[in-house]
Chain A
C-alpha cells in the first residue's frame, strides 16, 4: 500500500450530506456517490471546504468514513481529511480512523489528507510527521490552503508550508502528494523543492487556476459535486488522459465549451459553494436536505441563478 502512487485526475471535494438533525444523510450520500463515482478518480471526504470537516465531530467523521467505504468499496481511492485542532487531536483521529478501516478489513486505497498549518507551525513539522507517519498504515497527502489558515480563529504566523520544510517532508516516503492553493510563483517553488520525488503529485486546489494552467496531477473540484461528468471530461482532456472520443471531430471545441461552462458555474457558487451546491443537489433530489454544519447567509439570488443554470444545461 505504502509504495503506491496517489491517483491522477479528478478528486471530487464531496459535500457531506446531512439531515436536519445534523446526522449523516445515508441515502443522500449513497445517491451522491453513485452520481459522481463514474467520473471521479478519487473522492475527498470530510474536506475542510466542501466536506465541512471543521464542523464535523470525530464521531460523525468516523460514521462518514464507515458509510462511504461501504458504498465506494474500493472503486476509487478515498482522501479523508484528518486534521483536528492540535497534533494530539489529529493523532487520535488518525488512530481511530485506521482502527475502523482495520476492523472492516477495507481493501481500497485510502490517503489521509492533512492541513498541518491548521494546528501546527512550520517549526518542527518534519518531526511531527515522522511521528504521525511512523505507525500509520495508509499514506498521506498534504493540504496547503492559505485561505483556510487565515480563516482560523487563532491563525499561525505563516499560512503556507515553507518551501524548505516541504522539501524536508518530501523525504518521508509515506507522504505522497500535496493539494495546493496559492500563487503560481509558490507553485513553481514547491515544484522545484519536490523535483527529487517524481512520484510526488501536486494537485490544484483551485478550480480557476486549473482551468487556466492545469496541474498535470489533477484537481480537487467543488463543482464536480454538481457537474461530475463535465468536470471529468475537462480534467481528462487537460491531463491528456486516454479518452475514447478524443479523435472524434469537434472534440476540442466541445472541451472548450465545457471549460467555459464550468467557469460560468464557478461564478455562481464561488461565494458560498457549500450552501449553494447543497441547495442545488437538494433541488435535483440527489440529497435529502441542504443542511450545513454552520449557519450561513443564504444567497438567494445565487440560488435562483443556479436553478436557472441547472435548467439550461444538462450538467449531471
Chain B
C-alpha cells in the first residue's frame, strides 16, 4: 500500500510538471504564433515537419494532425534529408523544425540548404539563443522550466509542450480555413485517411465496362445515353486504339444546347473538350484529389504512357460522396 502511494505520488508529480509546462506556454505565446499561422495560410506549398529522436516523433504526430485537418503536411527525417530527401522540399513549402535544445546537429546541417532553396523555416525550440532559433525565419518558444524525467534520459515536458503547440497551430489553422464537417468527412472517409489517400489509383479506379466511353464519330445522342448509363456525369472519347481524344461532360452538353440548339445528331468531337486532365494509375489517390480540386473537375481519366485509357475516377467516389470502394482484393487497414 505504501509503495503504491509512493508510485502514485511520483506519477502525480510528473503530470503536474508536464501540465505546468503547457500552462506556461499560454502566457508566453505571442505575435510570432500569429505570424506562423499567416505564413502557412499564405503558402502555396506544404508544411514540412522535421526533428530527430523524440522530437521527430512529435513531428510525425503534428504532421498527421495537420493532414487530417486540411493542412497538407509531410514529415522529413533530418538524417535522410542530407542524403537526398531534401529534394522533397520546395520554395513554396514551410518547414517547421523542432528541437528543444536548438542545437540538434542534423537540423543545423540542413538549415542553410533550406534557406538557399527559399523555404521559410519556423523553429520550435526552448532556447531563443540557440543556432537553430537564430537562423530561423520565425522562432516559436516552447521552452519549459523542468523536465519530469531524471538526468535528461528522455525528454518529457519539453516534448509534451512542443506537441501541444503543434496542436494549437493545427486547430487555429482549421478555424482560419473554415474547415467544416464536410471537409472533415472528406479527409476521413472511413476513419483511415492516411490509408485511403496513400492508395494507388489503380487500386480504386473504375475499369472495363464501368468506364463511360464513346468512339470518335459517334453522335452526341449516343454519348448522352452512355453518360446516363454510367452515372459519372461525363464520357471519355477515344479512337479505335482506345487513345484518349477528349471528354464530354454534362456541362459541355448544357453549353452546346444553349449555343447550337439541335445537337443530338452532331458528332461527339464537335462538342468535346480536347485536352482533358489525366493521371497515371501508379499515382496515389491524394495526387488525383489535388489535381481535380486544382482544376475544378470531378472526373479524371486514367491513361498509360501512350494516352490509352485504362480507367476513370470520380471525386465523390474517392472522398466519401459514395462509399469508398476498392476494385481489387486489397483492403484498407
A sample of 10 cross-chain residue pairs with beta-carbon separation below 8 angstroms, ordered by A number, consists of A184-B16, A191-B145, A192-B20, A211-B150, A213-B146, A213-B147, A215-B146, A238-B147, A255-B151, A259-B151
Binds A, one of B22-30, B163-171, B181-189: B22-30
A37 at the B interface (CB under 8 A): no
Q: Which residues of A contact B151 (CB under 8 A)?
A: 211, 214, 234, 237-238, 255-256, 258-259
> Are B23 and A192 in contact (CB-based, < 8 A)?
yes
* Bound: A259/B152 CA distance, A: 10
Q: Report if B17 contacts A (CB, 8 A).
A: yes
> Are B24 and A195 in contact, with the CB atoms below 8 A?
yes
Please report which residues of chain B, range 3-29, place their CB below 8 angstroms from some CB of chain A when the two chains form the complex.
13-14, 16-17, 20, 23-24, 26-28
User: 6 closest A-B pairs (Cβ-Cβ)?
Assistant: A195-B27, A238-B152, A240-B101, A259-B151, A188-B20, A237-B152
**A187 & B146 in contact (Cβ 8 Å cutoff):** yes
Bound-state CA distance A256–B150 (Å) is 9
Pair B128/A198 contact, Cβ less than 8 Å: yes
Question: In whole angstroms, what is the CA distance A217 to B127 when docked?
Answer: 11
Chain B interface residue number, banded: 20 to 34
The answer on a CB contact under 8 Å between A198 and B141 is: yes
How many angstroms between the C-alpha atoms of A116 and B24 in the bound complex?
26
Nearest CB in chain B: distance from A8 CB, A: 8
Partner of A214, one of B14, B126, B152: B152
Assess A216 versus B20: contact at CB under 8 Å? Given A211-B151, A252-B153: no
Q: Could you tell me the distance in whole angstroms from the C-beta of B9 to the nearest C-beta in chain A?
A: 10
A252 to B17, CA, bound (A): 22
B146 to chain A: which residues have CB within 8 Å? 187, 191, 213-216
Q: Please state if B100 and A188 are interface contacts (CB–CB under 8 Å).
A: no
Q: How many residues of A contact B (CB 8 A)?
A: 30
Within 8 A of B (CB), among A195-225: 195-196, 198, 202, 211-217
| Interfacial residues of chain B within 117-155, with CB under 8 A of chain A in the complex | 126, 128-129, 141, 143-153, 155
Closest CB of chain A to B168's CB: distance in Å? 16
Partner of B150, one of A191, A240, A259: A259
| A239 contacts the other chain (CB 8 A) | yes
Q: Which residue of chain B has the shortest Cβ distance to A233 in the bound complex?
A: B151
- Measured in the bound complex, the distance between the Cα atoms of B153 and A238 in whole Å is 7
A241 interface hit (Cβ, 8 Å): yes
Is A5's CB within 8 Å of the partner chain B?
yes
Chain B proximity of A239: nearest CB distance (Å): 7
Q: Is A242 an interface residue (CB 8 A)?
A: yes
B33 interface residue per 8 A CB criterion: no
Given contacts A184-B17, A214-B150, 6 further A-B contacts (CB under 8 A): A185-B16, A191-B146, A198-B28, A214-B147, A242-B101, A255-B151
Bound complex: CA A198 to CA B133 (Å): 14
Q: What is the CB-to-nearest-CB distance from B159 to chain A, in angstroms, rounded to a whole number?
A: 11
Contact A213 B145 (CB under 8 A): no
Q: Which residues of A contact B324 (CB under 8 A)?
A: none
Chain B positions within 8 Å of A, measured between CB atoms, are 13-14, 16-17, 20, 23-24, 26-28, 100-101, 103, 126, 128-129, 141, 143-153, 155, 158
Q: Which residues of A contact B100 (CB under 8 A)?
A: 240
A195, chain B: closest CB distance, angstroms:
3
A184 partner, pick from B13, B101, B153, beta carbons under 8 A: B13
- Nearest-CB distance from B110 to chain A (Å)? 17
Are A191 and B153 in contact (CB-based, < 8 A)?
Answer: no
- What B residues does A191 contact at CB under 8 A? 20, 24, 145-146
Query: What separation, in Å, do the CA atoms of A239 and B103 have in the docked complex?
Result: 12
Nearest CB in chain B: distance from A56 CB, A: 32
Chain A residues with CB under 8 Å of B144's CB are: 216
CB nearest to A195 among chain B residues: B27
Give Cα distance in the complex from A217 to B146, angstroms: 8
* A198 CB, nearest partner CB in chain B, Å: 6
CA distance A259 to B150 in the complex (A): 9
Q: Are B24 and A192 in contact (CB under 8 A)?
A: yes
Minimal beta-carbon separation of B21 from chain A (angstroms)? 9
Q: Residues 272-312 of chain A: 1 if any B CB is under 8 Å from the residue's CB, otherwise 0?
A: 00000000000000000000000000000000000000000
Contacts of B14 in A (CB 8 A): 213
Give the chain A neighbours of B141 by CB distance below 8 A.
Answer: 198
A295, chain B: closest CB distance, angstroms: 37
Residue interface mask A221-250, B partner, CB < 8 A = 1: 000000000000010011111100000000
Q: Which residues of chain B are near A187, meaning CB under 8 Å?
A: 146
CA distance A108 to B27 in the complex (A): 33
CB pair B23–A213 under 8 Å, yes or no, is no
Q: Do A195 and B17 touch across chains, with their CB atoms under 8 A apart?
A: no
For the complex formed, measure the closest distance between the CB of B115 and the CB atoms of chain A, giving whole angstroms: 22
Chain A residue numbers with a CB within 8 Å of B17 are 184, 188, 213
- The closest CB in chain B to the CB of A234 belongs to B151
Q: A259 to chain B: which residues have CB within 8 Å?
A: 150-151
Interface centre among B103, B147, B150 (most CB of A within 10 A): B150
Nearest CB on A from B94, distance (A):
24
B143-A240 in contact (CB<8A)? no
Q: For residue A214, which residues in chain B have a CB less than 8 angstroms away from its CB?
A: 146-147, 150-152
* A188–B16 touching, CB < 8 Å: yes
- Collect the chain B residues with CB atoms within 8 Å of residue A237's CB: 151-153
Q: Looking across the interface, which residue of chain A has its beta carbon closest to that of B156? A: A213
Cβ–Cβ < 8 Å partners of B147 in chain A: 213-214, 216, 238
The minimal Cβ–Cβ distance linking A136 to chain B, given in whole angstroms, is: 24
Question: Complex formed: what's the CA distance from A196 to B26 in Å?
Answer: 10
Please, which residue of chain B has its CB at the minimum distance from the CB of A8? B127
Closest to A262 in B: B151
List the B residue with the shortest CB-CB distance to A210.
B150
With both beta carbons as reference points, the residue of chain A lying nearest to B100 in the complex is identified as: A240
Question: Quick check: B143 and A198 within 8 Å, CB to CB?
Answer: yes
